[in-house]
Amino acid sequence: MKKVLFWLVFSLFFFTAVFAYELNDEEKQEVWLLKQQITALSENDNQALWSFYEQARDLIWYFSDEKTSYYLTQLRDYALNKFTTKKEAAKQETEELKQSLLSEYVSSLANAEELTENCYWWYNTLDNLSYAYDFPTALTIAVWYRESSCWYYLPKNWDWPFQIVNKDYWNWEITKEIFEQTIRDFLEFSWNKINWYNSKNPDTPIVLWYRSFNYADLYKFAGLYNGLSGSTVYWDIAPANEKYFLEKMSWEYENWKKNWLFLQFLKVLEWELKQ
């Protein structure tokens, strides 16, 4: 799908003549038809819709003529507005679920430390990509914080920011483009883990989506992501390091200094509901 989207945009604009912008009725019709193509190609496919937006956004920098810039700007804004409208509707659907989970574990939140400013500074980027991949935004941020305290740089171990050990980024200078790619890598890596588990346990699948999440499946995910306690992925799996998920829960880990995955997840939910 991404290749189809790229060539649709590339073939149209690479061969566009360079001349002063002044759209006629035929060109306005072309823009309208292109928007319909975006809708058709991204129907029920938020990754494709977000990819269309990113391609139009990035291609603008390569074309200086007014017509091409206008076309790309129209497509960029159309894709982004469509994506954002869908995402905001989905976000509203989760408010009751977020409030319910927070209410159930409110005593734990009393002991939680605040997440770092970077966790929220990059929220929109993390939220957009999480929605595109149908993954809980709070979990994306919680893992980022758990693995690297939401730092925005590439450290010497090359695995930052989500510490995916089989994905090396070397020690290049971080850019927005590289950061976005690391988020995509995390989301794809996580879905591969979840799909692997679900293929072995079709009767009790992990359900972690943008609109749906629960304590039990977050616990399973912690095991899949950080390491399992046993040698099998069948049935009720658990993290090898229990504290990766539960540290500083009020009834058991009050003396630990750093929030770990579940508390961080709750802290993001709390922040989201206040926005």
Model pLDDT, residue 57? 92
Is residue 139 located within the same domain as residue 232? yes
Sign of the Cα torsion 153, 156, 158, 164 reads negative
Is residue 87 located within the same domain as residue 115? no
Which residues of the chain carry a pLDDT beneath 70? 1-22, 155-159, 165-172, 247-259
Is residue 32 located within the same domain as residue 137? no
Model pLDDT, residue 135? 98
Domain boundary residue, one of 46, 71, 91: 91
- What DSSP element (H or E) covers 2? helix 2-14
Task: Collapse the DSSP code of 63 into the 3-class scheme (helix H, G, I; strand E, B; otherwise coil) and give the result.
Answer: coil
Is residue 219 located within the same domain as residue 156? yes
Is residue 64 located within the same domain as residue 188? no
Is residue 145 located within the same domain as residue 69? no
Name the nearest CA neighbour of 196 among 209, 187, 205. Answer: 205
Is residue 112 located within the same domain as residue 223? yes
Model pLDDT, residue 18? 39
Domain boundary residue, one of 64, 91, 118: 91
Whether a cis peptide bond, with omega within 30° of 0, leads into 161 is: yes
CA angle at 108 for the pair 105 and 112, rounded to the nearest 5°? 130
Model pLDDT, residue 14? 45
Full residue range of the structural domain in which residue 213 is found: 94-274
Model pLDDT, residue 121? 95
Distance (Å, rounded) from C-alpha 114 to C-alpha 111?
10
Is residue 234 located within the same domain as residue 139? yes
Is residue 127 located within the same domain as residue 69? no
pTM of the model as a whole: 0.86
Is residue 62 located within the same domain as residue 194? no
Question: Quick count: other Cβ atoms within 10 Å of Cβ 177?
Answer: 9
Domains of the chain: total: 2
Using only C-alpha atoms, what is the Rg of the chain? 21
Is residue 46 located within the same domain as residue 100? no
Domain boundary residue, one of 43, 58, 91: 91
Is residue 255 located within the same domain as residue 137? yes
Residue 248: which CATH number? Answer: 1.10.530
